[in-house]
Structure 1
Amino acid sequence: MPFITTSDGTQIYYTDWGTGQPVILSHGWPLSSDAWAVELKLLADHGYRAIAHDRRGHGRSSQPWQGNDMDTYAADLAELVEQLDLHDLILIGHSTGGGEVVRYAAQHGAGRVSKIVTAGAVPPVMVQSPANPEGTPIEVFDGIRAGVLADRSQFYKDLSEPFFGANREGSTVSQGARDDFWRQGMLVGLKGAYDCIKAFSETDFTEDLKALDVPIFLAHGDDDQIVPLVAAAQKSIELVKHGTLKVYPGAPHGISGEYQAALDQDILEFIAS
């Protein structure tokens, strides 16, 4: 299996399929690069070099005690890009991964990044504050931390319901998709899973979004129960210079089913334009 080793000795696993213009896909919490399996094949089939990594603490990557924060995640991505010597790079990030690629592009990606796609992404900032009244109360994230510590296996099983909108009438998400969410979640080290909650919920990406100078496509479901549209993409589109926002009616946070099919087609069209 391919790995890179970062400057602090962390091993980062990655999948690397196809040839052509490189596309890096960054996954959400508590998942791994496996969450992008369909898109990896789709992109490779369409003439791109599709790469997806497991964030430190997640999947098959190392589970270090330190560095489970957004700055280090972005730095790890920078080391992956540099070691693979990637240029004219397209970035795609879901949820937490959306924050990771935005921070990487803003702080490390000058001259390397050509386009960005985010889906259900956490920027500008998730947690509620006087300056962000539409955000999610800190008590919700405290509850996630408590659930991960108390019984993370059951917590991930329960979380898969709102993640994929399985609690909505007419939902067609399969039990298999929910089981795979659980499987990927159980690969995350407890320390990495716990620390990442703060990283995805409290990191402020406002200045990163303002700094982006490349086209960005912001995709978001209007029934996202994990990262509500009103506090995320609807705010991000006001901060970026070259942004396109597409809202998917009825779509949940998790990428599956009709939402996945529509999003994948839109990704192909955007990155080819």
Structure 2
Amino acid sequence: MGRYVEVEKDVKLYVEDIGAGRPVIFVHGWPVNHRMFEYQYNVLPKYGFRCIGIDLRGYGKSDAPWSGYDYDRMSDDIAVVADTLGLLHATLVGFSMGGALAIRYAARHYGRRLCGIVLAAAAAPVFTQRPDFPYGTPVEQINKSIAGLYTDRPKTVADFGMTFFAKPISDPFRTWFNGLGFDASSYGTIKGLESLRDEDLRGDLANVQLPTTILHGKLDAIAPYALAEQMNKGIQGSKLVPFEQSGHGLFYDEREKFNQELLNALGGK
């Protein structure tokens, strides 16, 4: 069942609500939308979980305002959705940029309405390299991608998709997955990537006071495994689960393991 939630004046987010039971909020990565979690939505409701997939502003079926693509505003959007739906004891599952937003939400909103978070291939604590942070992607590489979005967005998104999975995928699957990125607004795509480049969550890690499971591919060419190790060090009591055969798209590279570890984190199997 789909619905729209107004998160600020004249800005509505699309929310897919599937199944019944304890809520699990899914936050997608850049530049796709909630539909990337199709292979989780097919499974979790069987175990008594209610899957709530949010399209972030600028992506999927949500409104695409000109502004508001910083992590504070986007985490506030998630909070409004959780409040509007009256969710309690929810687990927030964030993938890539969505993982960064899960960290910001947990720190900024003191874990309100949550009982835990799952960080899947999270683009955190910092996605790009800094003088005091040698991990992540060089800023110059991100700037090149941003320039590409201004000149040939479909090719830039498709090129990004080529580095996503460590295992072979079918041509129809690649077409479908790239299409999720093509559905995003052009300026939302640009501004989201600018936030990935510029945001810094190192100060948030110590303020995450929730049970935290980190799922990360050892072969991730987009958010290197070293980022997972940094999150694991910074979030007290967090559990790091390596995916030896996965790239960034661990939710599909090792689909069965991912679903099992997700259920383990949820206490559902």
**Aligned equivalents of 2:252 and 2:12: distance in 1?**
33
Deviation of the 1:181 alpha carbon = 2.1
> Structure 1 113/256 Cα, relative in aligned 2: closer, same or farther at 3 Å?
closer
Task: Name the SS for the 2:73 alignment partner.
Answer: helix
> Structure 1 24/256 Cα, relative in aligned 2: closer, same or farther at 3 Å?
closer
Q: What's the counterpart of residue 204 of structure 1?
A: 200
Deviation of the 1:258 alpha carbon = 4.6
**Aligned equivalents of 1:201 and 1:109: distance in 2?**
25
Deviation of the 1:135 alpha carbon = 2.9
- In the alignment, is residue 65 of structure 1 matched against residue 66 of structure 2? yes
- Aligned AA for 1:184? L
Deviation of the 1:256 alpha carbon = 4.8
- Percentage identity across aligned positions? 30
Matches within 5 A, 1:79-94: 79-94=80-95
Matches within 5 A, 1:2-21: 2-21=3-22
Deviation of the 1:134 alpha carbon = 2.2
**Aligned equivalents of 1:111 and 1:89: distance in 2?**
9
> Structure 1 153/111 Cα, relative in aligned 2: closer, same or farther at 3 Å?
closer
> Structure 1 14/112 Cα, relative in aligned 2: closer, same or farther at 3 Å?
same
Q: What's the counterpart of residue 183 of structure 1?
A: 179
**Aligned equivalents of 1:135 and 1:257: distance in 2?**
22
Task: List runs of 5+ in structure 1 lacking aligned partners.
Answer: 166-170
> Structure 1 257/108 Cα, relative in aligned 2: closer, same or farther at 3 Å?
closer
Deviation of the 1:18 alpha carbon = 1.1
Aligned length: 267
Task: Name the SS for the 1:74 alignment partner.
Answer: helix
Deviation of the 1:111 alpha carbon = 4.1
> Structure 1 213/30 Cα, relative in aligned 2: closer, same or farther at 3 Å?
same
What do the CA deviations read for 1:15-50 (whole angstroms, capped 9, x no partner)? 001111111000011100000112123111210111
**Aligned equivalents of 2:216 and 2:93: distance in 1?**
13
- In the alignment, is residue 174 of structure 1 matched against residue 175 of structure 2? no
Task: Name the SS for the 1:164 alignment partner.
Answer: coil
- Residues 66 and 188 in structure 2, CA contact (< 8 A), matched pair in contact too: yes
**Runs of at least 4 residues of structure 1 off by over 6 A?**
none
- Residues 173 and 257 in structure 1, CA contact (< 8 A), matched pair in contact too: no
Deviation of the 1:8 alpha carbon = 3.0
- In the alignment, is residue 35 of structure 1 matched against residue 40 of structure 2? no
TM-score, length-scaled by structure 2: 0.95
TM-score, length-scaled by structure 1: 0.94
Aligned-residue RMSD, C-alpha? 1.4
**Aligned equivalents of 2:168 and 2:110: distance in 1?**
38
Task: Name the SS for the 1:29 alignment partner.
Answer: coil
**Aligned equivalents of 1:129 and 1:110: distance in 2?**
28
Deviation of the 1:61 alpha carbon = 0.2
- Aligned AA for 1:148? L
Q: What's the counterpart of residue 168 of structure 1?
A: none
> Structure 1 260/143 Cα, relative in aligned 2: closer, same or farther at 3 Å?
same
- In the alignment, is residue 153 of structure 1 matched against residue 154 of structure 2? yes
